[in-house]
Amino acid sequence: MQYRTMPKSKDRLSALGFGLMRLPQTKAGKIDEDKALAMLHFALDNGVNYFDTAWGYHGGASEPLLGEFMTQTDRSKLFIATKLPCWLVKTRADMDSYLNQQLERLKTDHIDYYLLHALNARSWKEMLRLGVLDWLDNSRADGRIRHIGFSFHDEYSVFKQIVERYDWDFCQFMLNFLDTQYQAGMKGYKLASAKGLGIIAMEPLRGGKLVDHVPDSVQAVWAKSKNDWSPVQRALNWVWNLESLSVLLSGMSNMDQLKENISLANAFKTGQIDEKEMRLFNKARLEYLHRIAIPCSECRYCLPCPHGVSIPSVFGYYNESMMFGEKERHQKEYRNWTPTETRASKCVGCGECLSKCPQHIPIPDWMKTIADYFGD
């Protein structure tokens, strides 16, 4: 296993981190503990030393599983990361309550890497109001947490505000060869690097969408490569090629995925991606982006919709389906994650959004198309 040094803590962390959000499950939808524990032991035995979980993963069962694993091994050999569920925090006392419960779940007296989970503009503002930065300082001083960071889901301007407000040790955000200008993106990567923050990459495979069904036009780009890489290897190598990257997180669901990722981490060599190969990544990115049907920039000027439609989010699900195909998969995601009252079918065609859209998108027409497409 290859290791990278965290800039501030100087810990040597494995280039591959184990994300405990997609563990093997039983038919009843519970974590298959025997299989999951076997994977964790295999990972540690083969050099993985960074294990990332969170309060809500697997309905709250992920942290206790990691805690059980730590009773079966040498705690000093691994670094654990978990996160404060910011959306559940209503008072400062809640912060202590969740952290103390997490320590109990994890069967440890300290957490190596502690994150504010899934920060966006709204949750960041609320956490500041509740005094989270002072609380983080106190929690580090009393020894319950050692290194402080945040995970992120919003646009770059919000990321910049957060980075510049506090002396963070590390940050975690989506990094893959497609989303270089989405959310924090490469601008966020460069800022975090310049500030000396450790960088944890999540969603390197875009939830599997970069590898499950690669469009023919993208495969034609990869056919020009001198490297006979699998889609998984190609996507992971792009992330590992980032010089300031600390850890690439992967949520692995079975032993085969784990073994493959460990093998790829061991095989990666700095400099494998030369200028010619990087141009192919750029061409592949453009091929994906050309498949987007609606030129929505997610500026949100169209909101609020008087009838409650979450216009940018609805457009996002449709564009994802156009980019990656797999209509049924995206239809399921749309129905699972879009509240009924905010779906495309709630559009009445009032047209109030039309004058607000800088891209001049015919929003009501698209809402009808999307409602029909997803069977809304």
Q: What is the dihedral of CA 89, 92, 97, 98, to 10 degrees?
A: 40
Q: What is the pLDDT of residues 352-371, one digit of tens each?
A: 999 999 999 999 999 999 99
Contacts of 295 (CB under 8 A, 6+ apart): 359, 361
Give bridge partners of residue 52 from the DSSP assignment: 19, 81
355: which DSSP letter?
G
Q: Which domains does the chain have, with CATH numbers?
A: 3-281 (3.20.20.100), 311-373 (no CATH)
| Confidence (pTM) | 0.91
Q: What is the pLDDT of residues 64-83, one digit of tens each?
A: 999 999 999 999 999 999 99
Q: Is 254 helix (H, G, I), strand (E, B) or coil?
A: coil
CB 302 within 8 A of CB 353: yes
Beta strands in 132-257 (DSSP E): 145-152, 170-174, 198-202, 247-250
Look at strands 12-14 and 79-84 and give their pairing.
unpaired
Band (pLDDT 50/70/90 cuts) for residue 213 is confident
- Is 287 a residue whose pLDDT tops 90? yes
Q: How far apart are the first and last CA of the chain?
A: 47
Instruction: Using alpha carbons only, give the angle 74, 79, 83 rounded to the nearest 5 degrees.
Output: 130
pLDDT value of residue 37: 98
| Rounded percentage of the chain residues whose pLDDT exceeds 90 | 96
Hunting for tokens 């580090």 — which residue is that?
140
pLDDT value of residue 63: 98
pLDDT value of residue 8: 97
Look at strands 12-14 and 3-5 and give their pairing.
antiparallel
Find, among 275, 315, 317, the residue nearest to 297 by Cα: 315
Find, among 320, 11, 284, the residue nearest to 170 by Cα: 11
Look at strands 50-52 and 16-19 and give their pairing.
parallel
